[in-house]
Structure 1
Amino acid sequence: MIKNNNKGFTLIELLVVVLILGILAAMAMPQYFKAVERSRMSEAVSLLSSISQAQQRKYLQINKYATDYRGLDVAPAGATGAVYYTKGTVTTGAGGNGFGVTLSGADVNAYTTGFATATREAGGVPTDAGLNYQYNLVRYYASDLTTCNGTNANGKALCADFCGIDTPTGSCCSDGSSSACGAPKTGNETAAAGGK
Protein backbone atom coordinates (compact mmCIF):
# COMPACT_ATOMS: atom_id res chain seq x y z
CA MET A 1 0.00 0.00 0.00
CA ILE A 2 1.44 3.37 -1.07
CA LYS A 3 0.79 6.33 1.18
CA ASN A 4 0.35 9.70 -0.43
CA ASN A 5 2.08 12.08 1.97
CA ASN A 6 1.42 15.53 0.43
CA LYS A 7 2.74 18.25 2.67
CA GLY A 8 2.51 21.93 1.84
CA PHE A 9 0.00 24.66 1.27
CA THR A 10 -2.86 24.69 -1.16
CA LEU A 11 -3.30 27.50 -3.64
CA ILE A 12 -6.29 28.82 -1.71
CA GLU A 13 -4.31 28.99 1.54
CA LEU A 14 -1.51 30.93 -0.19
CA LEU A 15 -4.00 33.36 -1.76
CA VAL A 16 -5.63 34.02 1.63
CA VAL A 17 -2.22 34.77 3.19
CA VAL A 18 -1.28 37.11 0.31
CA LEU A 19 -4.65 38.87 0.63
CA ILE A 20 -4.20 39.39 4.37
CA LEU A 21 -0.66 40.75 3.84
CA GLY A 22 -1.97 43.10 1.14
CA ILE A 23 -4.67 44.48 3.44
CA LEU A 24 -2.16 45.01 6.26
CA ALA A 25 0.27 46.75 3.89
CA ALA A 26 -2.48 49.02 2.52
CA MET A 27 -3.29 50.14 6.06
CA ALA A 28 0.32 50.56 7.16
CA MET A 29 1.80 52.38 4.13
CA PRO A 30 0.00 55.73 4.63
CA GLN A 31 1.17 55.81 8.25
CA TYR A 32 4.70 55.01 7.14
CA PHE A 33 4.71 57.83 4.56
CA LYS A 34 3.29 60.23 7.16
CA ALA A 35 6.04 59.28 9.62
CA VAL A 36 8.69 59.87 6.95
CA GLU A 37 7.20 63.29 6.17
CA ARG A 38 7.08 64.19 9.88
CA SER A 39 10.80 63.37 10.01
CA ARG A 40 11.44 65.72 7.06
CA MET A 41 9.33 68.38 8.76
CA SER A 42 11.35 68.04 11.99
CA GLU A 43 14.53 68.59 9.99
CA ALA A 44 13.07 71.78 8.48
CA VAL A 45 11.91 73.07 11.90
CA SER A 46 15.41 72.50 13.30
CA LEU A 47 16.96 74.31 10.32
CA LEU A 48 14.56 77.26 10.75
CA SER A 49 15.49 77.42 14.43
CA SER A 50 19.22 77.56 13.59
CA ILE A 51 18.62 80.27 11.00
CA SER A 52 16.50 82.25 13.46
CA GLN A 53 19.25 82.16 16.10
CA ALA A 54 21.90 83.14 13.54
CA GLN A 55 19.73 86.02 12.33
CA GLN A 56 19.25 87.26 15.91
CA ARG A 57 23.03 87.31 16.36
CA LYS A 58 23.38 89.13 13.03
CA TYR A 59 20.82 91.72 14.14
CA LEU A 60 22.79 92.34 17.34
CA GLN A 61 25.95 92.91 15.28
CA ILE A 62 24.71 95.19 12.50
CA ASN A 63 21.14 96.16 13.49
CA LYS A 64 19.55 94.35 10.53
CA TYR A 65 19.04 90.82 9.25
CA ALA A 66 21.05 89.13 6.53
CA THR A 67 19.33 88.59 3.17
CA ASP A 68 22.06 86.24 1.92
CA TYR A 69 23.15 82.98 3.52
CA ARG A 70 26.78 84.06 3.23
CA GLY A 71 26.03 86.74 5.85
CA LEU A 72 25.13 84.18 8.52
CA ASP A 73 27.59 82.53 10.87
CA VAL A 74 25.90 79.10 10.42
CA ALA A 75 25.33 79.14 6.67
CA PRO A 76 24.82 75.67 5.16
CA ALA A 77 27.72 74.47 3.01
CA GLY A 78 27.55 75.92 -0.50
CA ALA A 79 24.56 78.18 0.21
CA THR A 80 24.60 81.50 -1.65
CA GLY A 81 21.86 84.06 -2.11
CA ALA A 82 18.55 84.06 -0.29
CA VAL A 83 17.44 80.48 -1.08
CA TYR A 84 18.99 77.21 0.08
CA TYR A 85 17.77 73.73 -0.94
CA THR A 86 18.15 70.92 1.56
CA LYS A 87 18.25 68.15 -1.07
CA GLY A 88 19.65 68.03 -4.58
CA THR A 89 21.68 70.96 -5.89
CA VAL A 90 22.12 73.47 -3.06
CA THR A 91 21.40 76.53 -5.23
CA THR A 92 18.66 75.19 -7.55
CA GLY A 93 17.18 72.14 -5.83
CA ALA A 94 17.49 70.15 -9.05
CA GLY A 95 17.25 66.42 -8.42
CA GLY A 96 16.20 66.87 -4.81
CA ASN A 97 13.19 66.05 -2.68
CA GLY A 98 13.40 68.33 0.34
CA PHE A 99 12.84 71.98 1.23
CA GLY A 100 13.65 75.32 -0.33
CA VAL A 101 14.50 77.61 2.59
CA THR A 102 14.16 81.30 1.75
CA LEU A 103 15.33 84.28 3.82
CA SER A 104 12.94 87.25 3.76
CA GLY A 105 14.22 90.25 1.86
CA ALA A 106 11.74 93.01 2.68
CA ASP A 107 12.02 95.17 5.79
CA VAL A 108 15.22 93.48 6.92
CA ASN A 109 15.90 96.44 9.20
CA ALA A 110 12.72 95.90 11.23
CA TYR A 111 13.34 93.52 14.13
CA THR A 112 9.85 91.97 14.15
CA THR A 113 9.32 91.49 10.40
CA GLY A 114 12.21 89.25 9.34
CA PHE A 115 11.37 85.59 8.71
CA ALA A 116 12.45 82.45 6.89
CA THR A 117 10.20 80.12 4.91
CA ALA A 118 10.82 76.40 4.32
CA THR A 119 8.70 75.20 1.37
CA ARG A 120 8.34 71.47 0.62
CA GLU A 121 9.67 70.96 -2.89
CA ALA A 122 10.63 68.27 -5.36
CA GLY A 123 13.34 69.07 -7.88
CA GLY A 124 13.31 72.76 -6.93
CA VAL A 125 9.59 73.07 -7.77
CA PRO A 126 7.40 74.31 -4.88
CA THR A 127 4.17 72.43 -4.24
CA ASP A 128 4.96 70.03 -7.07
CA ALA A 129 1.87 68.09 -8.12
CA GLY A 130 3.82 64.87 -7.51
CA LEU A 131 4.22 65.65 -3.80
CA ASN A 132 1.83 63.82 -1.51
CA TYR A 133 2.31 66.42 1.26
CA GLN A 134 2.31 70.06 0.13
CA TYR A 135 3.04 72.65 2.81
CA ASN A 136 5.46 75.30 4.03
CA LEU A 137 6.78 76.41 7.41
CA VAL A 138 7.33 80.05 8.37
CA ARG A 139 9.32 81.27 11.36
CA TYR A 140 9.92 84.87 12.36
CA TYR A 141 13.49 85.43 13.53
CA ALA A 142 12.33 87.17 16.71
CA SER A 143 9.92 84.37 17.67
CA ASP A 144 10.03 80.79 18.88
CA LEU A 145 6.80 79.89 17.07
CA THR A 146 6.42 78.28 13.64
CA THR A 147 3.45 78.61 11.28
CA CYS A 148 2.52 75.61 9.13
CA ASN A 149 0.60 76.31 5.91
CA GLY A 150 -0.91 73.26 4.18
CA THR A 151 -1.78 73.63 0.50
CA ASN A 152 -3.41 70.23 -0.14
CA ALA A 153 -5.49 67.88 2.03
CA ASN A 154 -2.50 65.80 3.19
CA GLY A 155 -0.46 68.95 3.87
CA LYS A 156 -3.28 70.40 5.98
CA ALA A 157 -3.62 67.14 7.95
CA LEU A 158 0.14 67.06 8.56
CA CYS A 159 0.07 70.70 9.72
CA ALA A 160 -2.79 69.88 12.11
CA ASP A 161 -0.65 67.12 13.65
CA PHE A 162 2.33 69.49 13.86
CA CYS A 163 0.26 72.20 15.58
CA GLY A 164 -1.59 69.79 17.86
CA ILE A 165 -5.08 70.66 16.61
CA ASP A 166 -7.90 68.29 15.68
CA THR A 167 -9.31 69.90 12.54
CA PRO A 168 -7.05 70.32 9.50
CA THR A 169 -6.87 73.94 8.40
CA GLY A 170 -4.90 75.95 5.86
CA SER A 171 -2.68 77.62 8.49
CA CYS A 172 -1.92 76.89 12.11
CA CYS A 173 0.65 77.86 14.73
CA SER A 174 2.95 75.60 16.73
CA ASP A 175 1.42 77.04 19.92
CA GLY A 176 -1.78 75.06 19.20
CA SER A 177 -3.88 77.80 17.60
CA SER A 178 -5.68 77.18 14.31
CA SER A 179 -4.40 80.36 12.66
CA ALA A 180 -1.00 81.67 11.57
CA CYS A 181 1.36 82.74 14.37
CA GLY A 182 1.77 86.32 13.16
CA ALA A 183 4.69 88.68 13.59
CA PRO A 184 6.15 88.98 17.09
CA LYS A 185 5.53 92.16 19.05
CA THR A 186 8.17 94.51 20.38
CA GLY A 187 8.21 95.60 24.02
CA ASN A 188 6.41 98.86 23.11
CA GLU A 189 3.63 97.05 21.23
CA THR A 190 3.17 94.64 24.15
CA ALA A 191 2.85 97.52 26.64
CA ALA A 192 0.36 99.33 24.39
CA ALA A 193 -1.76 96.17 24.15
CA GLY A 194 -1.99 95.94 27.93
CA GLY A 195 0.76 93.34 28.33
CA LYS A 196 -1.02 90.72 26.19
Structure 2
Amino acid sequence: MKKGFTLLELVVVVLIIAVLATVAVTYYGKAVERVRIGEAESLMGTMLSAQERFFLRRQQYTPYWHQLDAAPVSVRTPKEHNDFANGAENTIYYTRGGVESGVLNEGFAISFEQDATDKWFVVARRVGKSDKYTYHLVRPFGSTQTVCVPVWENENDVSVCCDYMGVDNQTDLTGDPMVPKISLADDF
Protein backbone atom coordinates (compact mmCIF):
# COMPACT_ATOMS: atom_id res chain seq x y z
CA MET A 1 0.00 0.00 0.00
CA LYS A 2 1.38 3.41 -1.04
CA LYS A 3 1.67 6.21 1.50
CA GLY A 4 1.50 9.90 0.61
CA PHE A 5 -0.67 12.29 -1.32
CA THR A 6 -1.61 12.32 -4.96
CA LEU A 7 -1.06 15.41 -7.07
CA LEU A 8 -4.84 15.95 -7.26
CA GLU A 9 -5.15 15.93 -3.46
CA LEU A 10 -2.35 18.50 -3.14
CA VAL A 11 -3.94 20.76 -5.76
CA VAL A 12 -7.31 20.61 -3.96
CA VAL A 13 -5.68 21.48 -0.63
CA VAL A 14 -3.78 24.41 -2.19
CA LEU A 15 -6.98 25.73 -3.81
CA ILE A 16 -8.88 25.51 -0.52
CA ILE A 17 -6.10 27.38 1.28
CA ALA A 18 -6.05 30.06 -1.46
CA VAL A 19 -9.82 30.62 -1.19
CA LEU A 20 -9.65 30.83 2.62
CA ALA A 21 -6.71 33.25 2.45
CA THR A 22 -8.57 35.50 -0.02
CA VAL A 23 -11.63 35.63 2.22
CA ALA A 24 -9.49 36.27 5.31
CA VAL A 25 -7.59 39.14 3.67
CA THR A 26 -10.86 40.75 2.54
CA TYR A 27 -12.37 40.60 6.03
CA TYR A 28 -9.13 41.73 7.63
CA GLY A 29 -9.04 44.83 5.37
CA LYS A 30 -12.62 45.71 6.29
CA ALA A 31 -11.88 45.22 9.99
CA VAL A 32 -8.84 47.50 9.81
CA GLU A 33 -10.91 50.16 8.03
CA ARG A 34 -13.61 49.95 10.73
CA VAL A 35 -10.95 50.51 13.40
CA ARG A 36 -9.64 53.57 11.54
CA ILE A 37 -13.18 54.94 11.24
CA GLY A 38 -13.77 54.33 14.95
CA GLU A 39 -10.59 56.19 15.83
CA ALA A 40 -11.55 59.15 13.64
CA GLU A 41 -15.14 59.23 14.91
CA SER A 42 -14.00 59.15 18.54
CA LEU A 43 -11.62 62.05 17.96
CA MET A 44 -14.33 63.96 16.08
CA GLY A 45 -16.71 63.63 19.05
CA THR A 46 -14.07 64.71 21.55
CA MET A 47 -13.16 67.73 19.45
CA LEU A 48 -16.80 68.76 19.01
CA SER A 49 -17.15 68.81 22.78
CA ALA A 50 -13.98 70.90 23.03
CA GLN A 51 -15.37 73.28 20.39
CA GLU A 52 -18.57 73.72 22.42
CA ARG A 53 -16.52 74.58 25.53
CA PHE A 54 -14.46 77.03 23.44
CA PHE A 55 -17.69 78.60 22.18
CA LEU A 56 -18.98 79.08 25.73
CA ARG A 57 -15.82 81.01 26.61
CA ARG A 58 -15.38 83.05 23.41
CA GLN A 59 -18.79 83.07 21.66
CA GLN A 60 -17.18 81.72 18.49
CA TYR A 61 -15.68 78.51 17.11
CA THR A 62 -12.08 78.05 16.03
CA PRO A 63 -10.41 76.17 13.19
CA TYR A 64 -7.21 75.86 15.29
CA TRP A 65 -6.62 72.64 17.22
CA HIS A 66 -4.10 74.22 19.60
CA GLN A 67 -6.75 76.62 20.95
CA LEU A 68 -8.91 73.75 22.23
CA ASP A 69 -8.63 72.38 25.75
CA ALA A 70 -8.71 68.73 24.62
CA ALA A 71 -6.37 68.90 21.63
CA PRO A 72 -4.12 65.91 20.86
CA VAL A 73 -0.75 65.97 22.64
CA SER A 74 1.26 66.81 19.55
CA VAL A 75 -0.81 69.99 19.14
CA ARG A 76 0.35 71.34 22.45
CA THR A 77 3.96 70.18 22.13
CA PRO A 78 4.87 70.53 18.45
CA LYS A 79 7.70 68.36 17.24
CA GLU A 80 9.78 68.31 14.09
CA HIS A 81 7.41 65.89 12.31
CA ASN A 82 4.11 66.84 13.91
CA ASP A 83 0.71 65.54 12.89
CA PHE A 84 -0.43 68.65 11.02
CA ALA A 85 -0.57 69.46 7.34
CA ASN A 86 0.18 73.12 7.73
CA GLY A 87 2.70 73.42 10.54
CA ALA A 88 2.16 76.18 13.08
CA GLU A 89 -1.44 76.86 12.02
CA ASN A 90 -2.54 73.43 13.30
CA THR A 91 -5.82 73.35 11.38
CA ILE A 92 -5.56 69.81 9.97
CA TYR A 93 -4.78 66.88 12.27
CA TYR A 94 -3.65 63.47 10.99
CA THR A 95 -4.86 60.46 12.97
CA ARG A 96 -1.93 58.26 11.98
CA GLY A 97 0.96 60.69 12.25
CA GLY A 98 0.78 62.52 8.94
CA VAL A 99 3.76 62.24 6.63
CA GLU A 100 6.74 60.07 7.50
CA SER A 101 9.72 59.83 5.16
CA GLY A 102 7.74 61.63 2.46
CA VAL A 103 4.87 59.10 2.54
CA LEU A 104 1.40 59.91 3.85
CA ASN A 105 0.27 57.33 6.41
CA GLU A 106 -3.09 55.60 6.03
CA GLY A 107 -5.60 57.44 8.22
CA PHE A 108 -7.69 60.60 8.32
CA ALA A 109 -6.98 64.31 7.94
CA ILE A 110 -9.40 65.96 10.36
CA SER A 111 -10.31 69.64 10.18
CA PHE A 112 -12.98 72.12 11.24
CA GLU A 113 -14.74 73.66 8.26
CA GLN A 114 -17.59 76.05 7.45
CA ASP A 115 -20.05 75.80 4.58
CA ALA A 116 -21.41 78.71 2.51
CA THR A 117 -23.99 79.46 5.23
CA ASP A 118 -21.30 79.64 7.97
CA LYS A 119 -22.45 76.39 9.55
CA TRP A 120 -19.55 74.52 11.19
CA PHE A 121 -18.56 70.89 10.65
CA VAL A 122 -15.81 68.54 11.71
CA VAL A 123 -14.60 66.68 8.61
CA ALA A 124 -12.37 63.60 8.50
CA ARG A 125 -10.99 62.99 5.01
CA ARG A 126 -9.54 59.54 4.31
CA VAL A 127 -5.92 59.88 3.22
CA GLY A 128 -3.01 57.57 2.57
CA LYS A 129 -0.37 56.41 0.16
CA SER A 130 -2.90 54.46 -1.91
CA ASP A 131 -6.14 55.71 -3.40
CA LYS A 132 -8.11 52.64 -2.31
CA TYR A 133 -10.25 54.82 -0.02
CA THR A 134 -11.14 58.45 -0.70
CA TYR A 135 -14.37 58.97 1.30
CA HIS A 136 -14.84 61.43 4.13
CA LEU A 137 -16.81 61.58 7.38
CA VAL A 138 -18.79 64.72 8.22
CA ARG A 139 -20.45 65.70 11.49
CA PRO A 140 -22.22 69.04 11.90
CA PHE A 141 -21.52 70.94 15.11
CA GLY A 142 -24.35 70.29 17.56
CA SER A 143 -25.16 66.90 16.04
CA THR A 144 -24.44 63.37 17.17
CA GLN A 145 -24.69 61.82 13.70
CA THR A 146 -21.68 61.36 11.50
CA VAL A 147 -22.32 60.89 7.78
CA CYS A 148 -20.02 58.89 5.50
CA VAL A 149 -19.69 60.56 2.10
CA PRO A 150 -18.16 58.35 -0.62
CA VAL A 151 -16.52 59.29 -3.86
CA TRP A 152 -19.19 57.62 -5.99
CA GLU A 153 -16.79 56.33 -8.63
CA ASN A 154 -14.81 54.42 -5.96
CA GLU A 155 -16.47 51.05 -5.22
CA ASN A 156 -14.45 50.67 -2.00
CA ASP A 157 -15.79 54.01 -0.74
CA VAL A 158 -19.38 53.08 -1.54
CA SER A 159 -18.97 49.70 0.18
CA VAL A 160 -17.41 51.20 3.34
CA CYS A 161 -20.02 53.97 3.54
CA CYS A 162 -22.91 51.53 3.08
CA ASP A 163 -21.44 49.35 5.84
CA TYR A 164 -20.82 52.34 8.12
CA MET A 165 -24.26 53.88 7.59
CA GLY A 166 -25.99 50.48 7.93
CA VAL A 167 -27.65 50.48 4.51
CA ASP A 168 -27.74 47.77 1.85
CA ASN A 169 -28.05 49.95 -1.22
CA GLN A 170 -25.97 52.99 -2.18
CA THR A 171 -29.14 54.90 -3.08
CA ASP A 172 -30.02 54.80 0.63
CA LEU A 173 -26.90 56.76 1.60
CA THR A 174 -27.60 60.28 2.82
CA GLY A 175 -26.03 63.23 1.05
CA ASP A 176 -23.16 65.37 2.23
CA PRO A 177 -24.49 67.63 5.02
CA MET A 178 -22.06 70.36 3.91
CA VAL A 179 -23.81 70.65 0.55
CA PRO A 180 -27.04 72.67 0.86
CA LYS A 181 -30.19 70.96 -0.40
CA ILE A 182 -31.74 72.76 -3.34
CA SER A 183 -35.48 73.18 -3.23
CA LEU A 184 -37.78 74.19 -6.06
CA ALA A 185 -39.17 76.85 -3.71
CA ASP A 186 -35.71 78.50 -3.70
CA ASP A 187 -36.11 79.35 -7.40
CA PHE A 188 -39.25 81.44 -6.93
State TM-score, norm by structure 2.
0.75
- 1:12 equivalenced with 2:5 (yes/no): no
Query: Relative to 1, partners in 2 of residues 1:107 and 1:51: Cα closer, same or farther, differing over 3 Å?
Result: farther
Match of 2:49 in 1: 53
Structure exhibiting the larger radius of gyration computed from Cα positions? 1
Q: How does 1:1-196 map to 2 (within 5 A)?
A: 6-79=2-75, 80=88, 81-89=90-98, 94-104=103-113, 113-123=119-129, 130-151=130-151, 152-169=154-171, 172=173, 178-181=174-177
CA distance in 2, matches of 1:90, 1:23: 35
Query: Relative to 1, partners in 2 of residues 1:36 and 1:74: Cα closer, same or farther, differing over 3 Å?
Result: same
CA distance in 1, matches of 2:100, 2:7: 55
CA distance in 2, matches of 1:7, 1:31: 37
Q: CA RMSD in A?
A: 2.8
Note if contact 1:97-1:121 (Cα within 8 Å) is conserved in structure 2.
yes
CA-CA distance at 1:6 after TM superposition? 4.3
Percentage of pairs with the same residue: 37
CA-CA distance at 1:91 after TM superposition? 10
Query: Relative to 1, partners in 2 of residues 1:65 and 1:82: Cα closer, same or farther, differing over 3 Å?
Result: same
CA distance in 2, matches of 1:11, 1:36: 37
CA-CA distance at 1:7 after TM superposition? 2.6
Cα distance per residue 1:11-47 (max 9 Å; x no partner)? 3221210011112222332222112111111111111
Number of equivalences: 164
CA-CA distance at 1:78 after TM superposition? 1.8
Note if contact 1:51-1:74 (Cα within 8 Å) is conserved in structure 2.
yes
Query: Relative to 1, partners in 2 of residues 1:86 and 1:65: Cα closer, same or farther, differing over 3 Å?
Result: same
CA distance in 1, matches of 2:104, 2:68: 26
CA distance in 1, matches of 2:102, 2:149: 21
State TM-score, norm by structure 1.
0.73
Note if contact 2:115-2:178 (Cα within 8 Å) is conserved in structure 1.
no
Note if contact 1:115-1:141 (Cα within 8 Å) is conserved in structure 2.
yes
Unaligned runs of 5+ in 2: 76-87, 180-188
Unaligned runs of 5+ in 1: 124-129, 173-177, 184-196
Higher helix share goes to which structure? 2
Note if contact 1:85-1:92 (Cα within 8 Å) is conserved in structure 2.
no
CA distance in 1, matches of 2:42, 2:102: 19
Note if contact 1:67-1:105 (Cα within 8 Å) is conserved in structure 2.
no
CA-CA distance at 1:122 after TM superposition? 0.8
Note if contact 1:137-1:147 (Cα within 8 Å) is conserved in structure 2.
yes
CA distance in 1, matches of 2:143, 2:45: 9
The amino acid of 1:137's aligned partner reads L
CA distance in 2, matches of 1:107, 1:63: 20
Cα distance per residue 1:82-140 (max 9 Å; x no partner)? 101111347999441111111226789x6xx11111011015xxxxxx23222100112
